[in-house]
Amino acid sequence: MTTTQTGEFLGRDAILGADDLAYDTVPVPEWGGTVRIRALTGTERDRFEAEVAGNGKRLKLDNVRAKFVARCIVDAKGNQVFGTADVAALGRKNAAVLNRVFEACQKLSGLTDEDVDELLGE
């Protein structure tokens, strides 16, 4: 059981007011620099998982790495750099490079290998 230093539990305002979104930078020399990534919010991750899961009968894995990376790459103010319309172009980037950024985004967002396997039905 974790408590605050005063011995009290966190309340609604403390939890909702906490700035808990993590950021990181990923060097991508193949793209000519560094990208800034942000952890997905709970809502963003749920939407991503729902999109990949589709209707439950067939997983939608086309450009799955590009879709995830597009949600995570942000500018200096924390705004997403890519929109839905950019996913196909992002998916045409070098697979090894895209995967390296994907893995950094995955780690930052707490998406484990087991979570990915579950999404993939493995």
Higher pLDDT among residues 49 and 75, named by residue: 75
| pLDDT tens profile 58-96 | 677 789 999 999 999 999 999 999 999 999 999 999 999
d(CA 41, CA 38): 9
Which residues are 74's β-sheet partners? 36, 80
**Fold that domain 21-120 belongs to in CATH:** rbstp2171 (3.30.2220)
d(CA 101, CA 29): 12
Averaged pLDDT for residues 25-51: 95
In this prediction the pTM is 0.83
Q: Give the model's pLDDT for residue 25.
A: 98
CA dihedral of 6, 12, 16, 17, whole degrees rounded to 10: -50
Q: Give the model's pLDDT for residue 1.
A: 45
Q: What are the structure tokens assigned to 80, written together?
A: 């997403």
Phi first, then psi: what are they for 66, rounded to 5°?
Answer: -65, -40
Averaged pLDDT for residues 97-110: 96
pLDDT bin (cut points 50, 70, 90) of residue 54 is confident
